[in-house]
Structure 1
Amino acid sequence: MHKERTDDPRRLSVCVLTVSDTRTEEDDNSGRLIRETMEEAGHTIYSRQICPDDKNAILKAVESWVGKKTVDVIVITGGTGISYRDVTIETIRPFFTKELNGFGELFRYISYAEDVGSKALLSRAAAGAVGEKVLFALPGSVKAVRLALDRLVMPELMHIHDELTKHL
């Protein structure tokens, strides 16, 4: 599924990737939450995909989207923990032209204070600029995705986009 970006500069074109060895379209609740939240905010879902916790599968999806001028935002859910199979962060970090360190720091702080307590230290959620695009890597749980979207991503998404696309 690929939709072209609208000419409305306040509408962004979003790609959603669920990284999981077990999720399907029917039970991908975190990916669905991301899509619904973005659409409710007026943004367009350019593409969505589910891939296994596998570096090559993640690379293939992200590389295809990074190369598209019509894509503004990439949101990944899953693969951000510390288990052997969690390779999302190692795979996406080389794409960053600038890492948004504060995103991961704030996400872990909010998770600690409002959700999972000291278990928040296991999260490696991250975000960064990839040229004029922004890429968010969120945990796989619905609760964590909702927390990240509500408290960090959606309040700052347009500001991040504006900063990445303004030219002096």
Structure 2
Amino acid sequence: MLLSDIIIQIAIGIVPLGVAYLAFRSATDANHKTQQTTILQVERQAELERSKVDAEAFLRAKTIYEDALNQMEKQLHRIQDQAKQVSTDLAHEQSSSTAMREQIRRLQAQIRALERTVFALRAQLLAAGLSPAPTSELTGPYRVPQRQE
């Protein structure tokens, strides 16, 4: 055999080896890319799951917050209503108190006027030489000193 035949046979034998190497290299690259794609998909899926969990937690927290806010608003309205009622009651009590003080002042003025009238009438009776009626328990604790002659 000739050297050229051997070279041709070696060349023919190298071509399938080259093709096999290229196929191996392509398969390895494809496998590496598939692994990277799989890892990215797993990471995306994990991120999606975390997002779902975060979204559910957010919705629960939002619901709890809104319920608490509604309860606080209801309580605030009750307190405001109670404050209005207390304010109304206070105004009524102050008005009643003012009216009663005024009535007490009028009654005290009437009592002073009656005391002056009684004193003046007793003085007139004594000046006329008459003896005033004896004081009794029905007329109160006021005792008029009797005139000594």
Report TM bin, short chain: under 0.3
Which has more helix, going by share of residues? 2
Give the structure-1-normalised TM-score.
Answer: 0.18
| TM-score normalised per structure 2 | 0.19
Of structures 1 and 2, the one with the larger relative CO (CA 8 A, separation 6+) is 1
